[in-house]
Amino acid sequence: MKSKKWLGQLLIGLVIVAAGVFILVKTESFLQIFVIILGLAAIINGSLALISMNRYAFGKYNRNATIVKGILGLVVGVLAVVLPLATAEATWMIFIYILAGQMLISAFITLVASASVHQQKLAATPMVQEALVNLVLAVILFLFPRSLGTLLINVLGIIVIAVGATIGGLAFYERKKRDLQAVVEVEAEVVEEE
């Protein structure tokens, strides 16, 4: 079984290289998939905001803001999943800006809510981390919607190809190293000299 481990690693490397080539060759398809993934993340984020808001004792403002954040996440997420499948590129480019706006609003609301949670002497670190991730993604979507976004996607494709090639190369290296370390059994007789 261990002797076939290198083959599994090689196949994983080839699949990763193929994914990198897909990113480089089918950029539009990758962008649609990426927007759909971001939409699914917005749906999860909105759902978790609505589900977990009863866990904290928010004031009226924070509770209403969390409800708005949750509903906005759900609506934007559903649109992110449906629109790329049904409309042209221009429409979903506009939607990228809408998604970035939703993430910016979500980051602000989460930071305000985390301040309230921190005042209650509860752990606010996960909320701050969520807000920072939303903020970074929003800034990236606002700044790089198309031209630099394509550049980043090409860089991502090259990185993915390099990782896949590295995994494949390591698989061959491990196989060669294993073959060199094979134990050879020999019979020998010790003869003493007089």
pLDDT along the chain (194 residues), means of 10: 74 89 83 80 85 70 79 84 65 75 88 86 86 88 71 80 88 78 68 76
**pLDDT for 90:** 63
**Which amino acid is located at 24 in the chain?**
L
> How far apart are the C-alpha atoms of 122 and 183, rounded to whole Å?
59
Both tokens of residue 59?
A: 């004031």
157 neighbors 17 (Cβ within 8 angstroms): no
Which pLDDT does position 2 carry in this prediction? 57
pLDDT attached to residue 56:
66
> Alpha helices, DSSP H only, in the chain?
5-25, 27-52, 60-86, 89-119, 125-143, 147-180
- pLDDT number for residue 152: 67
pLDDT for res 33: 81
- Per-residue pLDDT at 89: 60
Q: What's the confidence (pLDDT) of residue 132?
A: 92
Rounded to whole angstroms, the Cα distance separating 109 from 113 reads: 6
What local confidence, expressed as pLDDT, does residue 48 receive? 84
Instruction: Give buried/exposed letters for 102-124 (b at 16+ CB in 10 A, else e).
Output: bbbbbbbbbbbbbebbeeeeeeb
